[in-house]
Every structure is written in structure tokens, then in C-alpha cells.
Structure 1
């Protein structure tokens, strides 16, 4: 069953990447730029066809895709340095020559760098924008069509004893819920004389009531029953808003004395209004951007966890192996409460989250990412406007080839990061 989730993930990613690249291809061709290749996958070509000057195809390794727009780099200024101290062309000059070689004689006007600044921004932004639309679409389908999982006032499980371990022993006292006769499947409609309609209501009444006995009205098999529950005070782990266990400076779990009953909620799918989707998309976008902003720190923390053997944070970064493990878990976990519809919803939300990550990540203003090209175009536009306002000649296109050393360094960093996260996901998977 885990294979089904992983297969769903692979197909979802290929579709997402394919549509991302179409987001670049369509406006580029519409604006007159030459697009020589559009491929899904990498490595040896399995199939391809030519249409309107573009080769479309599928490659053997399904780990992404690419679109090749000819003439990405301008020739730069005539006064530029083209030869190094060894008498050979510089790295930037070789890149300029390769970019120019992508255009046949008579195609010079189809070079990407010749497009106006607004058109170049549209071409480079359209790819990530497609991922944003896909993320919003997945969230809309789940939230408005399938429904989001919400903790309900129905019980999914009743703990037999009061313990911090996974199994009860003879020395563990009976849990208040078990002693009162609560059962899985009971629907709690009143706690301590106060009507409750969801899990948050129940939690609030338990916390407010302390260890005082409380009458609890449940519906079981269509009949109302009144039971008496007396919570006990016990030390329980504390969790933050992301669901992670709170630890002190020494890494020990932080606990607090709280009223304890021993019940767990069942989750029900609840559809929401379409008006709630934009807010959820915004929350996902800002949350993803926050993770990307602290990426170096997250990678460092992951490295420390690997060295020390500590458990990785569930809110930290994971690689493609970790994402595949999540997808596999969605389809393989055994639970009567976890319906097929709910699993499909979670898989769609996973694809939506990945598309949001692609949107945010590609907008990082560094080459070779889309955001780097957008920044270069913006800089060129601003520079031209300043020159125009000051009555000076047009400074011409920005020589993006000069940024290639940084571009290669960024590419190497991303490759190393990918390998590192794959190793981390295998050696110390997120629990």
C-alpha cells in the first residue's frame, strides 16, 4: 500500500514540474523567443517529437524536467574582459558563446535577452506562478470538496490506564475514562453540564474542571447515557503550536501537571467555504517562506541531530525521501477511521504543499533559480530608467554571464543539500 502513495507522489511531482515548465514555455513562445527543448525527466531520451521548432519529449529519470529557452545570456559590453590570464576564454565568455550558439543564423532576434524587461519577468515568473495556482487548487479541492480533518466530539480511543509508555502494566492505575465506562465511538454532547460540539470544547471543559468529578452525557448506539468522570492530576508532555514536544536547554521534555482523562478524538471531514481558501493559501505561503528563510539554520540543526543521535524536529526540513515516506504512510497506515477519501485529501494537500515549496523556492533571488533571472531583469529595468531620467545613453542589457560563478556555487550547494537530506531521511527519518 505504501507504494501507491509513493507512486501518487511521483506522478503528482511530474505533473507539477511539467506544468511549471509549460508556464515558462508558453509565454516565451508567445513573445517570440526560441524554445528549443521541453522535456519531462533527465538522462537518456525515451521519446521525443518536434513541433514548431521545439523538441518535446520524455527522459528516463523521472526527477524533474526542463525547458530550454535560447539566448538567455546577452553578449555584454564590447569592453568586457573575454580572456583570462592564461589566454583562454573566461568562464563568462564561454557561457556567452554557448548561449549565442543556440541560435541559428537569422534567429538572433529570437534570443531571450532581447525581450523587453516586462516580458522576461512574465516568462520567468509564470513557472513558479503555475505552482502557486496548483497549490491553491489542491487546497480548494480538499477544503471545499473533500473536507479538512477536524477533531470532533466523538471518541476514537479510550486509554485503559494512566501511563506515559505505550503499554499498561499491573502497577498503572485505571484511567478516569475507562473507570467511568467511556468507550470508543461515544459521542460526547455535554461535559460538566456544558454542551460541547467539538474536541476544543471538551478540552476546555476538562481543563476548567480540574480534578472535580463531572457528569458527562454521551450518545451511544442512538441512546443518551450519563456517566461520571473524575480526572486525575498527572504530568504530561507539553507541545508547541506546531505539535512538537517542548524541550528545555538540555533537550529534556518539558512536562506540566494537568487534569487527565484518557480519551482521544475521532476526526471528521468538514467542508469549508471557498472564501476560506485564500487565507489558508496565504498561511501556507508565509509558513513555507519562513522555513526557506531559516534553511541554513535548519540544515545545521539536522546535521547536529544526525551527529548526536537526537530525534529530528517534525517541523524541520526533509528531503524527497522523507516526503516519499510521508506519502507511503498515508496509504499504508491501518485505521478504520482513516477513510479512502481522507487519504486522498491528505495526498492532495501533500502535493499542494510541495507546489507551494516550489513556488517560494524558485523565487529566491539567486541564479540559476527563476528569482535570479527576475532580479536581473528588474535591475536592468531600473538601471535603464535611471539613465533615461539623467539624460544618459541606454546602458544596454545586464551581463548575466558575470554572475555565473555565483550561479555555479548555488547549484553545487543545492545538490549537496539534496544529497545531505536524502542521507538524513534514511539514517534518521522524521518520526
Structure 2
């Protein structure tokens, strides 16, 4: 079914799936199989030679996973996509693919704590170093921080937990002037609220565990590419390498851009990193993500409204020192929110608890309706003390750079009635300070 001509709310239900190709099943089937029979020897040769589309082993491709990939690719208007077993797999495969052999990544300081900690612990052992941009909110000066061996800029579209918004169009311009791609983690925004590729980004990563799925029941990740960046330059020699596994019918060795001119980045991840590192998304988890994706518009709209309602309530509360949410008129990011996020600012907000450590902990222990755990984007409302949990890996100086004070509490607004959520916060505040 050619769905490119349809609007977002039709595509989220129909893109990437044609019932008549699956015994007319209305819902995409779960292809719970490890491998697939070949029609004949010629079919096997065509599949292994990448000359014929199809499936040969679920580690590198599966029909259920392929429906999820095509649906999200359509929503993001991307040239290529690959689904993986987690959002962290999406980030790691992306950065390894870019900086293979060594190099630097210029990154925003406003990131998920797991990303920041992995940048410190894991990648330097592979020759990849990270520079935290001092001018990420001032793109005109950002160019000063790009070094000769910088391979990419990495940012979040809505940061976790501070909900920082950045001028992605301006940052993309700087990146492209220096021959490097812009990578955007769009997990919090999802393609419903924001499309980084349409604003100049080259690569988008998702933890599909969060808002894309929206039900807290599956772990998944995605990498997408815009198809406009040229990887065949001296800065990225790995993309010009020719492989025996990519040979043509005459046994001529070829590179990924030669075989996949529209999507060399994600296909290189699929046939190198996914194939041999193996973070494959299971068919069942892909199915769960597809089911969750069907309600993404309603969920993100309601979560954005609830988050704003909670932010406005907290802004007036005597036990709250500050509130961070882009849709608040006093937010330093309100201008970018009005320009780039017409459908809402998402379900994440944070606030500073005014009181002692013991009172803050009593507040969290008194919560009854909110779930106290570390996920985000769930249909249920969640609350957590990020500095001690999701960003607990960060050392004091790293928290200072990321602007994460110890009294920060993060909320992921769900779909409950906002009045009930406010009542739950109110009773917890009362118990904490009594």
C-alpha cells in the first residue's frame, strides 16, 4: 500500500503493511521464526548477495520487524531505517558506525545519564572521545568547538530530564559546513511532535521503549537516516571500503554507498554491526511497538496537555523552587517551542523540590497514583528523582555541566485525569512537610 500520500494519522495505522500479503490479517502477524526456507539455490544466492529482497535469518531481518521499520520510516520521511533491540543499541551502533577507527563526537551536555556514562566508560576504549559543547545553545560559536577529527554532533531534541530545546536547524547548518552529520536523539518528542530530518538532521535515533510504544512493555531502538549526507569523504573512509560480501554477480567488490546509494548508513549498521554484534529486535517486541504506535497521536497530545497542567500547578506551589517545561511562558526555550513544536512539548517536565533531602524522599515515598520508576513515555504517569537514579552515574562536576541539581524531580505525564495527578502530588507535598 503506497501510504506516502497520506497524512501522519493514517500512516501510523497503515504504513508498511499490506494485509493481502499476509493472508489478509488485519493486524501484522508475529513471525516468530529464526530462519526462512529458500525457494531454491538461486534464491539463496540472491539473498546472500543482496541482489534479491527477502528474509534469510531473523537476526538481520524479520517480516514483523520490517513492518515496524517501514511504518516509522514513513512517519519520519526517512530514506533508511533499522530496528534494534534497545535505544542504547541504536546510539552505540550509530556512534561506532560514524567514528569507527577513532575520532571525536561533539555532544550536548543535556543528555540521558546512560548516554553520558557510556561516553565516558566505553567509547574511549575504542578510540572514540567526546567533547561536551559549551556553545550548544549558541550555534554561531559552536563551530569553534569542531576539531579536525570530529565525526558528528550528537544532541537530544527534547532533553531528558531538563527538557532543553535546541535550534536544530542552526546546529545542522554548522555541522554541514564542516562536513559532519548531525545526530538527534528524538526519543522524547517522537515523530508526532517533531521531525528532526525535516529540520536538517542527518541521523535520528529512538528508544522505541518510550513514547513510540507508550505502554512500558517492550524494549526497542531505531536508527533512521535522511539520505542526503555524503559519507564518501576522507573523514569517513570506512564507507568507501569494498567488501567481498557486497560483491556483484561478476564478483566485483563494492562499498555500502555503491550497493545502497539511498541508505548506506543504516544498511552498514544492519550488515556489519547488527549482523555481528547481534542486538536484534524480537518479532514479538516489534509487534508490541506496532500496537503502541497506533495511538501515538492521542497519547502524545494528552501527555503534552497533562504535562503543561502539572507544570503550571507546580510553578505556583510553595514547595517548588523552579519548574522546567518548554511550554511555560517563563521558559528560556519558549521561543523555540512556539516555533518548532506546534503539537505540544511532550510529557516530560522537571521541578526543584524546596526542602531537605529527608522531605524530598518523604515526598516520593508518599506518592500513590504516580509510578515511581525510571521509564518515560508510558501511558501511566511516572515520577523519579533523576539525580539519584537515571543520572546517578554522573559525578558532581558532570551534573553541574548538565545542570542537574540534587533536588530535581522528573515527571513523565501519562493519560490519567490531570486533577487526580495534582491531588496525588498535593497530598504527597503535605505529608512531606508535615
TM score, norm. by length of structure 1: 0.25
Which structure has the bigger radius of gyration? 1
RCO (CA 8 Å, sep 6+): is it higher in 1 or 2?
1
Which structure has the highest strand share of the two? 1
Which structure has the highest helix share of the two? 1
TM score, norm. by length of structure 2: 0.24
